[in-house]
Amino acid sequence: MSKIMIQGTASSVGKSLITAALCRIFKQDGYSVCPYKSQNMSLNSYITLDGKEMGRAQVLQAYAAGLEPEAFMNPILLKPTSDMKCQIILNGKVYDNKTAQEYTDIKETFQEMLKNDFEKIEKNFDIVVMEGAGSPAEINLRSHDIVNMGMAELVDAPVLLVGDIDKGGVFAALAGTLLLLTPEERDRVKGTIINKFRGDINLLSPGLDMLYDIIKKPCLGVVPYFNLLLEDEDGAVAEIKKNKTAPIDAAVVMLPHISNFTDVDALKCEKDVSVRFITSREEFGEPDLLIIPGSKNTIDDLVTIRKAGLEKRIIDYSRKGILLGICGGYQMLGQRIKDPYHVETDKGEVEGMGLLPITTELETEKTMTRVKAVLNFNGVKGQVYGYEIHMGKSSSESVKPLATIVEKNGENVSEAEGAVNEKGNVIGTYIHGILDSPNLRNMLLNKIRKQKGMALEISPVYETVRDRELDKLADIVRESLDIKSIYAFMGIKR
């Protein structure tokens, strides 16, 4: 079994997509491939078929490799709940809530587990493409590292170092990162990759020669800047778009603890829809569709947007526009949110926006399920699918459900899901990814198109678009990198 590890000079330099590209390239070349990230910090997560939680970046990489996502691809997921504390997901299940120092104190106890589990993965695949986190040059974290050089050393993986030229200072970033590594760590780095390049490659070439003279590591290629319909990287929305660029304006409330913002990615597949993020009353504008997404701290986020005056704009908008709340956003639309066990905050309970007749109580047990449901909304009877990740339950005696769940984690059920107001324009759901399936998306957008006098459209299947875009990504990266040398670093002759 062979392996390669992608590390970066910083967060958001493109490690996740380079890893996904290599997964797809190796798959195209006939190898069985598995993505792997030992520790991921992200509020973008996903539920596997067996009801386990993992980071979304490894989900995309799994699809690139032609695999169903599984939690062993991301054994440790950290979900920040505040600036100093996070929820630890271990092998897909909630392990504990810890401060940064408390987690640092126990990290080394996971090393043996990571090593043993990785050895099992090696036996089942030809190639494992590993991804680091942040930068390996965080010298204050070296002694406890289990995700960058610490993990590479644990399993003896060669490393490629990625730098982002679009940020500026890429030569300094690459040289500086290598300078801060130990001699043994530098030996593990086999080459560099420059990512997100715009301009004339001939003007860059002299710099590549000078960089080699300094670091004695070959540049394995320069990847151009590109725009593909693929998920943003897992840490945060890298580029928050705030302007309308298409006839249909979909606005997303950028919550302080926003989670699963990938729920809106399917809208980007629609040729007449633009997605923008709003953080203030001034940015609100006149959207055709308003989405309140998930949150890792629903109560604090509701209080924050209330203080900022955004809540009043949302309530005013709900009288005429189409409003969709997903998970935490759904909870905010209700009458009250109660937190008797102080799962999120010490506030106890807060009043909701009062737009849906539900009351939510946060619980200590997390719901993690993959679901299929049948819409019962505005005459639409199509199926939708997705997953639930939430700490609360919402109840009502008079709610009009959005759908009926017919399958949970592979078992047949019949349960009411979500809520819709009497006018049918305020919608709440716990189903993440509900817009990936075309039925609800198509119904909402065609309603808007009809109101605006636009031609009706048939929404594309998001999974088909994603697979096509992954092939495009692989083509771009294959053309840009010295793939033959990468194979050689892994001990594979081609």
Residue numbers annotated as active site: 327, 432
Q: Whole-angstrom Cα distance, residue 378 to residue 382?
A: 11
Angle between helix 56-64 and 462-480 (nearest 10): 80
What are residue 60's phi and psi, to 5 degrees?
-60, -40
Q: Name the 3-class secondary structure at 355.
A: coil
Measured at the CA of 309, the angle between CA 83 and CA 234, to 5 degrees, comes to: 35
Residues 6+ apart with CB under 8 A from 315: 353, 354, 355
Cα dihedral 96→102→108→114 (10° resolution): 30
Closest CA to 344 of 87, 89, 91, 53: 87
Distances (CA, A) of 122 to 2, 17, 25, 486: 8, 22, 19, 18
Distance, in Å, from the CA atom of 438 to the CA atom of 225, rounded to the nearest integer, reads 29
Cα→Cα distances 478→294, 304, 324, Å: 36, 45, 40
Q: Where are the alpha helices (DSSP H) in 1-148?
A: 15-28, 56-64, 100-106, 111-124
- Short-list 132, 127, 123, CA closest to 57: 132
Residue 34's DSSP bridge partners are 128
